Chain A
Amino acid sequence: MKTLIPFFAVVILVLLALAGVNMGNQQFLFGVIIPYAAVTVFIAGIIYRVVKWGRSPVPFSIPTTCGQQKSLPWIKQNKLENPSTTLWVMARMALEVFFFRSLFRNIKTELREGPKLTYGSDKWLWMAGLAFHWSFLIILIRHFRFFAQGVPLPIHIIESLDSFLQIGIPLLYITDALLLGAVTFLFARRVYLPSVRYISLPADYFPLFLIFGIAVSGVLMRYFVRVDIVSVKQLTMGLVSFTPVIPKGISSIFYVHLFLISVLFAYFPFSKLVHMAGVFMSPTRNMPNDSREVRHINPWNYPVHIHTYDEYENDFRDKMKAAGIPVEKE
């Protein structure tokens, strides 16, 4: 059920777009209104989530570290694993964002006969995750050619590198194959590994199916059931220049692709996918480990009235003297 519900949810979304365009002639709804709404929800939603996180107090200094903390001068600090300055925090964050460094440490734990607990290296999740995220990023950047009049040179370079195998016409993009492979792996992993299956929820499967649907519809459009791509670009250029047009004769698979992407964008800020913004807001990653230099004030702290020894002595000096208790000030 946990797998089937999100699967059929995506199937229904596809059918919705197909029915809307083929039977209802709702090209303007699916081609203009929904995409605009989705992008608005995406941007506003991300800002809302980030501001909400920003308003949450961090009561303790809680960076997770795995190296020598800054200490006495003759003890060598591991600046990357245990950063104490903003610069090194940024370096560690950059490696996390670009290369998933913490996932690289993923290990496999098994209870073998004996009973004996063994640990082994497990890089598959890291590799598939890296392939997935980088492919997705490159595909996203590549799509800029549909949204720009006069495509800038870097896009051309990325595109020619991505298609340099020169397989078929239009040329096969390596990232298309990588993305589909990686999504399939990430899905298979959730189904195949009992421990991962146990903790997987519909909210884990839905984005996988959705992204799979987007990739498949895109691949179909490029390599198999082709659409009139010039009309498609007229539509997308209409969108980005705020003069929406619906050119005639765009096949419905394009609207399926566009609708699934719109759903992804609108769903993004309210789902686990928002880790795109959340990774930067993780206190365990974005705080410097300088708790021995800088006192971390808990923003929750109630303003406690402090009665210092000086004040105490002022209050009771006479009585203390009378009782023969030594005082600091006479």
Chain B
Amino acid sequence: MYNAGKILIGLAIFFGLATFPFFYNMGKAVAKPDPKLDTPEIMKLAKQDRKCVEPKEFMRAEHMQLLNNWRDSVVRDNVRVYVNSEGKKFDMSLQNTCMRCHSNKKKFCDECHNYMAVKPYCWDCHIAPKEKES
């Protein structure tokens, strides 16, 4: 091989970059996020009533869109009542509806958001519920 030294340096850089994710995670325990649903407010409810505004699978994938729609609906159209897929009515409010049950932002919201490394800007305007530092 001609210019072997330079080419090997280049290949080493390429190999390092291409396999970087494998080395970066070496020896790190992969903790699965585990959002907690055991707030006092949820525990108070009867077993069959422990439901979010929409089914779990929907909320998991689409909650950001739902919240965005709520915001637009409240702020722009002054429509504050949300009718869910079962016909039940809810007040569209992050602080008063969502966080009433899910009062554990750190163990609920942040659990997945930190895992996915996303920083939603909800709390730029809203007030996060008070939590005991654990």
Contact = CB atoms under 8 A, between A and B. Distances in A.
B62 interface: yes
B21 A229 contact: no
Interface stretch (B44-52, B82-90, B114-122): B114-122
A169 B67 contact: yes
Interface residues of A, number: 45
A243 B2 CA distance: 40
Interface in B1-55: 1-4, 7, 10-11, 14-15, 18-19, 21-22, 24-26, 28-33
A192 interface: no
Interface stretch (A44-52, A61-69, A109-117): A44-52
A155 B116 CA distance: 12
A234 B30 CA distance: 8
A149 B28 contact: yes
Interface stretch (A3-11, A19-27, A140-148, A302-310): A140-148
A227 interface: yes
A51 B1 contact: yes
Contacts of B10: 50, 280
B126 interface: no
B96 interface: no
B19 A43 contact: yes
A133 interface: no
B26 to A, nearest CB: 8
Contact of B116 (A46, A144, A229, A280): A229
Contact of B7 (A54, A234, A241): A54
A147 B20 CA distance: 10
A226 B22 CA distance: 27
A166 interface: yes
A151 B117 contact: yes
Interface string B60-84: 1110110110000000000000000
A57 B119 CA distance: 53
B18 A54 contact: no
A51 B7 CA distance: 8
B61 to A, nearest CB: 4
A43 B18 contact: yes
A58 interface: yes
Interface in A48-99: 50-51, 54-58
Nearest to B28: A149
Nearest to A150: B28
Chain B CB count within 10 A is highest, among A50, A58, A242, for A50
B57 interface: yes
Interface string A120-154: 00000000000000000000000011011111000
Contacts of B1: 51, 54-55
B85 to A, nearest CB: 16
B30 A149 contact: yes
Contacts of B25: 147-149, 237, 240-241
Contact of B14 (A54, A159, A238, A277): A277
A326 interface: no
Nearest to B61: A226
Contacts of B112: 230
Contacts of A226: 61-62, 65
16 contacts: A51-B7, A51-B11, A54-B4, A54-B7, A57-B2, A147-B24, A147-B25, A148-B21, A149-B28, A149-B29, A150-B28, A169-B68, A228-B57, A237-B25, A241-B30, A249-B57
Interface of B: 1-4, 7, 10-11, 14-15, 18-19, 21-22, 24-26, 28-33, 57, 60-62, 64-65, 67-68, 112, 115-121
Which 9 pairs across A and B sit closest by C-beta, in order of nearness?
A151-B117, A169-B68, A147-B21, A226-B61, A54-B1, A145-B117, A169-B64, A54-B7, A240-B21
Given A50-B11, A230-B115, 17 more contacts: A46-B14, A47-B11, A54-B4, A54-B7, A148-B25, A149-B25, A149-B31, A159-B117, A166-B121, A169-B64, A169-B67, A226-B65, A229-B61, A230-B116, A237-B30, A240-B21, A241-B30
